[in-house]
Structure 1
Amino acid sequence: MGRKADEDVGSAPIRPLRSRSARRVERDAGYALVDEMRDGICLLDEEGRILHVNPSFVALLGGSPDGWIGSDPLLGVHPEDRRRVANLFRPGARARRKGALVYRMQSARGAALQLEATAREFTDGHGRLRVVVGIRDVTERENARRALERHVELETRVAEISRFFVDLEIGAIQQGIESRLAAIAGLADAQHSWMYSFSTGVEEGPELFDWWREEVGERAPVPATRAIAAFPYSTSRIMSGQVYQVTDVDALPPEADRERQDMLARGVRSILGIPIMSGGRFVGFLGFECFDRENDWPEETIMLLRMVGEIFYSALRRRRAALDLRHSQSQLMQSQKMEAIGRLAGGIAHDFNNHLAVMLTNARFVRQEIDAEPEVFAAIEDFERSADHCAQLTRSLLAFSRRSPAEIVPVEVAEVVEGVEALVRPLLPSGIRLETVLARDLGFFRVDRVQMQQVLVNLLVNARDAMPEGGAIRMHACRRPLALAEAAEEGLDGCREYVVITVEDTGIGMDEETRERAVEPFFTTKEIGRGTGLGLAMAYGIVREAKGSISIASEPGEGTTLRVFLPAVEADPKDFDEG
């Protein structure tokens, strides 16, 4: 028994030493296994401090293994994510550890990362609480996911904008675009958004739609026509259909110095210009500016913003088409009214002309056959003059109603204008100057010579009567193609050349109501007995019959400008059959 006792006593201290050694071996084997893992692994103690990190952890977050030992694993975690990560890492939080957690962190090298972490709690051989945390880099995955979510959001917003404008009333389109500019500025992460649209407005020149974020403060925009001249580098690219994007002011080339100075003066950090094209033609552009950061817009965002620009332009074009339709309907009603008045006037004038012919014939017969006192002959002559005046009026009415036959032949433009000048000069008082300017190579137009002379004489006489105190009349003739907007406004063919004869005066001008009614039959602002109200109406009818147009521009006290547009003839009159 003594020997047995000796053996028991001698062997008693040896068992715990073996146990600690075994645990050390087990721990080292565990660390070796962890160190071979591709994911970053760290072991936390009961206070949440790091006990061990594997090489993958160090490779991912930087630093050194010794530097991480004893440190807080929350160092570098994004402030907004720190609470969630602490709940995952803290010992005793077993119930809150459900699945993986994605959070943002800045590595020891300063790189912004997005990490996915899982944690498992256990008790070591000494009964102490431990947490093993596994992390992996999911930055690319999360960026791709967020980009996809943003793309889907953008597509959804673009679809909403498209549906919004489909059913929008014409009168609400302008307000609708202004409100949606704020929405797309949010999609583009911009503080300022604007749109210029060409050839869609009621007035001449481009339309501007502008939005500013409140904290930036609204600033006066540069008019588009001035911007085109002031910033040739950017506008030339946008007008050629290229996207213009500046994310670094200092990276602009020397030829963009005006753009650089403007951005620096206004505090713009980045700018995006997206052209709006229709049928391969530049029709406007969208612009975005950032004042708080340098924004690099991805291609997918630019593509969707371009679609929004096209939606805006389509809505504006629909509004313009509706306004043009209303204008055309108004012109049609006016034309129908004039046609009805013309038929009525023509019928009356035809019958009246027959009676005048009888009266004039008998008056001349009486004057030849009787021997009467001079007073009687004077009365007969007054009767003849009045009847002749009435006959002239009926001839004007017949011409207005198109009952008089017209001889439409190619006529030399310069010959007609010079002939009218010779006719009118004797009718002008000394206080009125007439200047005639003829461009080179005017060529020919197809008109009735007499009717065309009548048109120009009417315009010049009206100009004379508008200047009772004297002034100047300028008659100018040229041959040129028309701009598309000008051709559309006048209802003419934008693909051919026109002879344009302009008569300008420095007279009293016309207000809007007078301009609207200027070509109405029998409408006149002259004193009773001085005008019939048929001059401009006849001129308008003659020019429209020749497939031309007359435009009137006038303001009270600013004089009047009338332009006669007639199709130019390319060939010599010998190449045409007369009649």
Structure 2
Amino acid sequence: MEEGKDKSSDELLSELLELREQVEELRKAEVERRESEQALQESEEKFWLLFEKSADPILLLDAEKNTYIDCNEAALKLMRCSDKNRLIGLGPSDLSPRRQPDGRLSSEKTEELIGAALKEGSACFEWMRRTFDGEEFWVEVSLAVIPIHGRKILCTSWKDIRERKKAEAQLKESEERYRVAIESSNDAVAIMTGDLHTYVNQRFVEIFGWDSREEVIGKPLSSVVHPDDLAFVNDINIRRQRGEAVPKRYQFKGIRKDGSTIDIEVSATNITYQDGPASLAYLRDVTERGQAEEALRQSEEKYREIFESATEGIFRTAPDGRFISANPALARMYGFESAAELIETFTDIESQMYVDPVDRIRLKKLYQKNGSVSNFEVQLYRRDRSRIWISMSGHTVRNARGEIVYYQGIAEDITERKQAEQALRRSESTLRSVFSAAPVGIAITSIDRVPEWMNEAMTAITGYTAEELKEGGAKAFYTSEEEFARVGRIILDGIEKSGIGVIDTKWVHKNGEIRDVHLRGAAIDPKDISAGLVFTAVDVTNQKRSEEALQESEAKYRMVVENSLVGVCIVQDGVMRYVNKRWCEMYGYEYQEVVDKLDVLATIHPDDIDLVKENLRRRLEGEADYVGYEFRSLRKDGRVINIKLLGGRMIYRGRPAATSTVIDITREKTLESQLLQSQKMEAIGMLAGGVAHDFNNLLTTMTGYGTLLQMKMGRENPLQTYVSNILSASAKAADLTHSLLTFSRRQPQCLKPVDINEMVRGTARLLTRLLTESIVLKTMLHDEDIIVVADPTQMDQILFNLATNARDAMPGGGSLTIETRSVDLDDELSHMYGIDKPGRYGVLSVSDTGVGMDEETRKRIFEPFFTTKEVGKGTGLGLSIVYGIVKQHNGFVTVYSEPGLGTTFRIYLPALVRPHQEERPVPDEIERGHEAILLAEDNEDVRHLIKEILTRFGYTVIEAVDGEDAVEKFNESKEKIDLLILDSVMPEKNGRAAYDEIRKTNPAIKAFFISGYTRDLVLDKGIEDRMLEFVSKPIAPGQLLRKVRKVLDK
């Protein structure tokens, strides 16, 4: 400050201004710095964005540490690295094989290339990388030096060049392949640019006599083309390179280096070579071919006369497969009119004439090796492609250098001879095959019977081969020398007399077994027996044994057939020729009445005669070897039986006959019919049970409330009549549901001894109300009581249903007869009716004089809902219920009816030997109570009715709507409840399931079940038979109250 006092104001002002300028400059510098930093930041952001998003792999390499400090996603993908941290910190040689393809260490070569890049600022080269999973591949590496925060960083960019390398290798391989092909070609190859040679192969140098290719390349066409043809060749060459149309093939006269001339054949095309038009030419020295042609022309005149007049084919052919000349005989041999036509047509002998081109190659090799061939046989094609056999003989004609110029020879057509030879060979082969495969033994021997050849069958008979018998001859397998000599005499005598000797003898097989043999012998040459003998031998050992066994077998089989359980018969000419004992039993005939007397159709039911006749015809005429079918047959007594037949055909007494085995299947048919009927009943029974269950709930409500109403009324009340009628109708409805349940259940109910006579007497009084006045009811009862074990109500149901059916069958009146009797069914009758147990049966017969029915109707009358009545006049259940009741009582039903003659039903029920007295129950009086009852019923009307009845008689009732609700209500009041009343079938949880769960809490709880189903159907819902109390709906109030009291007091 002191110094400032000495300064003038101007100086101070000047300093102030200077300071202000410095401040302004500093401010501007600060702004520029900030702008520069912002630009740098934006540049860096752009760089990193490009770095990360680049499709090419990019890595940043710290040049000083020789390690990667960062990389983008593309680099990680290329290297198959999932984590960038695994790559960062590694060096270039870490991501490379130990050595590069040139053999240098990757580490050394890396340092060299990085150093060059640092020096030059950038570098580009190819490098072999290795991925993290070990695969090696080529990349093109670009290095660029970039300074980052004062450090030298190499930005490394990789380009995957695997495909390029592969293409380069393929190209190199292709170029090498074509180079080798061109260099090894037998033709000269040249490329002409303008009229200068720019490329020639080694063969070109050889043909034109130059020392090396370098001498030729760059020289014009005039160096190899004779002046006489130079203008012509030059013109074609230039025009071709211009793209004009010129001949591709032509010839010219060439000049060798030594000045000698040669004939050249050219095949050329235009190409692009070194980015310009050029000609590619293939050249062939045809001088020798021309010389050969000239030599042929000179010799042709000399030999023309012989050549033209020869009967054998004469030819000259070139090694390349052309005919040079051929005489007329050869032309005719191959199907041509002239030799010229042959030569013009067959231009490539090997492919056009030889059936097997390999034969031409073999022929040329023989010519090359030996200089000639003799009688070379080959098959060739003629002009029309037919084949002929040719025998050729010829020699080669060579030039001065020893090279073959052409082949010359003669050809003979040996087709007929070959065909004869082939026919002979085929005949010999066929005979040998026939002899070898023959089932009889065949041998060719000397006159001394030493085998020269034997077939396999002869070896099998004797055990010896021909070679084994060369020394000892056939004696080896004879039983003795005497037998050997005897056979020889007889065979030779037969040959001399008739040409064939025949004898039966015995041979000893090599294994020691004696064989019976039928032997035949003949001379190979009938004019010269010393030429040898041919023998055939048949091993008849088994045949002789079979003949002996056959006699024994026939006796055995006759015994088997006669004692068979099935009928056996033979039919011929419509007459029974044979029958066995069982057949006679089945049909009721004596044997003498049948064999050769009885017409087979006399035993057939008239309706099945056509069926039997057709099957007999098919067998006898050979249309069918075996048949099997069923039909109805007639016994001698006229009774119809069902027969199952299995039949074949045979020759009997020299003529066709039909054989048959027959089985009586009458009982099986009856059982089958009953089974089908039973299955139908079971199906409809399930439906009936379900309907009755729902109906019983309604009847329970109606009956219950009707009874309660009747209890409240006095006997003098005029409404009593109406209530009685309601209860009566309910009772009838209950009977109907009882009928349905009777039909549906599987076991009879309330079985007890019942006197059929007494049952008929009681029901007959009621039937008079059912029948019309025009129908007379008659009863014919057995003198003695007939006791059966049955349900009385169901027996009444049977009579009512049958009587109703009879009434409807007699609209104009008639008579209804009910009859009882006792019968004993033996085994035969039991078999007839299809029942398992014979014995005493009670029979209830119901007969009417109504309209009757035909066979088809009779078969269906027991089907549920089948009716012949008008709509609305019948349910079709009446006879089905009858059938169901009878089957439940282990009985059976028979029906006899014919149209217009009425109908008779017979019910057979097993009878008791001694009657049992029925104990009549004494009705209990209804007692009142005070206990608490849990009532579970899903039907609201039924539930309310039962509650009303029970509360009227002093009981406390707790209601539950289903099984689940019952369990909950019991758990709420388990100390108070004395009895459970459970409906067996309820939603959510059925009665048995609810009962089982409640018993877990109170095992001693008392209970009974109610259901609209019968007891046997309820079994399926879990109620065990006879273990628990059960009441069927509809339930009358008195029945319900007595059951409650009974269970509570038990």
Q: What's the TM-score bracket when you normalise by the shorter of the two chains?
A: 0.3 to 0.5
In terms of fraction of residues, the more strand-rich structure is 2
Decide which structure has the larger Cα Rg and report it: 2
Structure with the larger helix share = 1
Per the normalisation by structure 1, the TM-score is 0.45
More contact order relative to length (CA 8 Å, sep ≥ 6): 1
